[in-house]
Amino acid sequence: MSVFTAFGWAGETAALEFALGQLDTFIHTLQTKLSRDAQRMFPVCGLDTEGQTVYLAVSEAIDREPHIRFAARPAHFELRLSINNRTALLRGLKSAEPDSVLWHRHVSELGPEWSLHVQQVQVDEENGEITSYQDIFKDTLDKWDLDASTAATSRTLFLNGDPRWLAPWHIYRRWRADPISMMGDKLVGIMAQEVEKLIPVVTRFAPPLKPVATRRNSGRTPRTNTPQAHVPDVIPAPLSNGTAEQPSQFTYIAELKPLHIRKGFINLTAEHWPFFADSPRTGTRKVTLYYNGKYDKETAVWRLQPEETARVVLGEKVQSWFAKAFDGRTQIKVTATKLPKDEIQINLSVVE
């Protein structure tokens, strides 16, 4: 299905009506292609004739909750997630601020093809009129590092708590019109995949979904096992040149030598190994490495005998970047964070 075939024939009005009709068909078809969870997240879809867009919305009051709009223009096709309601913004940002690493991951993992626009607008307290004040961040996601994410999240949480200001978030991606027009029926499936990528972000800002009702079995109530008390993970003690920032995270300044840079590894200490160990017999632990705006799944932490030292062995794709970025440097900042589903993420950054 091409949403662009309407432009340029039969007059502007007829072409526009035809294009909007195609968009309306597109959005209703796309909603049926979403996963069950995404359909529950976006139960509302439709055509906005005034804005010449179509939308997926969390509620009938579109702007009160996160919503996605698709816009077809002669030069490009755009998918845009917008969160511009104060209540929704505060809900999501309060969740994101103490969960800084995973929140940054949910946004940055979309990839450098996506862009983020975080605004600061002034609200007239008498009539509610909104006036643009400044951009807090407006760039592609390869520029959205952890420091930028942490700073913008904290700042917009503060601004949205003040009735004089509002700080909406917009995440969007654009495609050139010509490739989109040649996708035909494949366009719906491709855009459904792009919407699914946004669900972790939307979930923070949207109201909690109601539990799905389950059918109860008649007859005897099955026996349930009493859950055992959760035993917290063993966390290394504070280190001489590192800090235990929270129970699930540590930061360490590691020394670099020319051999480390050439071979692509970073030495930690024996005190760090318990953070990574699955069991006493564990010798290696796969981790997710965040570097230069990208994620690598081939990096691992090794336990070196006999000192039990932890060593970060970089994946092959990371090593060339590491050699260039840290050539001549003698230190590197390593931040390791435990994430859900038994995942550990390591962030590498330059020591200024």
pLDDT-derived band at 230, boundaries 50, 70, 90 = very low
Residue 174 clears pLDDT 70, i.e. is over it: yes
* Residue 110 in domain: yes
**Are 67 and 198 members of one domain?**
yes
Q: What is the CATH number for 72?
A: 3.30.930.20
Query: pLDDT by residue (tens digit) across 157-172?
Result: 999 999 999 999 999 9
Residue 328 clears pLDDT 50, i.e. is over it: yes
* Site of tokens 């691992």: 300
Considering only CA atoms, give the Rg of the chain.
24
Task: Enter the tokens of residue 152.
Answer: 């913008």
Average pLDDT over residues 277-304: 93
Distance CA 253, CA 349 (A): 10
Count of structural domains within the chain: 2
**Are 77 and 183 members of one domain?**
yes
**Are 119 and 183 members of one domain?**
yes
* Residue 211 in domain: no
Average pLDDT over residues 180-209: 95
- Widest CA span in the chain: 79
* Residue 166 in domain: yes
Distance CA 187, CA 79 (A): 12
**Are 197 and 52 members of one domain?**
yes
pLDDT-derived band at 205, boundaries 50, 70, 90 = very high
Bridge partner residues of 77 (DSSP): 72, 175
Q: What is the CATH number for 265?
A: 2.40.330.30
* Residue 227 in domain: no
Phi/psi at 64 (5° precision): -80, -15
| CA 62 from centroid of its chain's CA atoms | 22
Average pLDDT, the chain: 88
Task: Enter the tokens of residue 45.
Answer: 């879809």
